[in-house]
Amino acid sequence: MPLLLYSSMKAKIYKPAKSAMQSGERNTKLWLLEYEIADKKYVEPLMGWTGSSDTLQQLKLRFKTKEEAVAYAESKNITYRIEEPNKRKQIKKSYADNFAYKPPA
C-alpha cells in the first residue's frame, strides 16, 4: 500500500546556495530532497495563519551525495528532478584594493 502513496509524489533534488548574509560555505555541502507542493495552502480563518493538508512540504531529507539522493528516490518510487548547482565566480583581490585611488576615466 505505501508504494501507491510514493508513486504520486514529486520531489526536487538540489544543493542549496549560500545566503547573501553568509561569507562561508556552511549548509551548502549536502544535497537536499524536498517534496514539491501537492496541495494548495489556505488561510486559517480564526487566527489568520497559513495552513495546508500536505505535511510533506515540511520534510527535507539531507544526503552527502547526489547519487545517494537519487538512489533513495528511486528505491521509494518517487518522481524527481535534479537542479544542478551554479558555479561561483570568486574574484581574488586585496583588502587594500577597496581604498586604492582610481583616476576618473
Average pLDDT of adjacent 10-residue blocks, the chain of 105 residues: 57 89 80 91 91 88 96 95 87 86 86
Q: What is the pLDDT of residue 74?
A: 96
State residue 62's pLDDT score.
Answer: 96
Q: What is the DSSP string of 79-100?
A: EEEEEPPPPPP-----GGGGT-
2-17+27-38+46-86: CATH topology: Double Stranded RNA Binding Domain (3.30.160)
Residue 4 has what pLDDT?
45
Phi-psi category of residue 27: left, alpha or beta, with phi > 0 → left and psi -120 to 50 → alpha: left
Domain boundaries, the chain: 2-17+27-38+46-86
**According to the model, what pLDDT value does residue 89 have?**
81
Give the predicted TM-score (pTM) of the model. 0.70
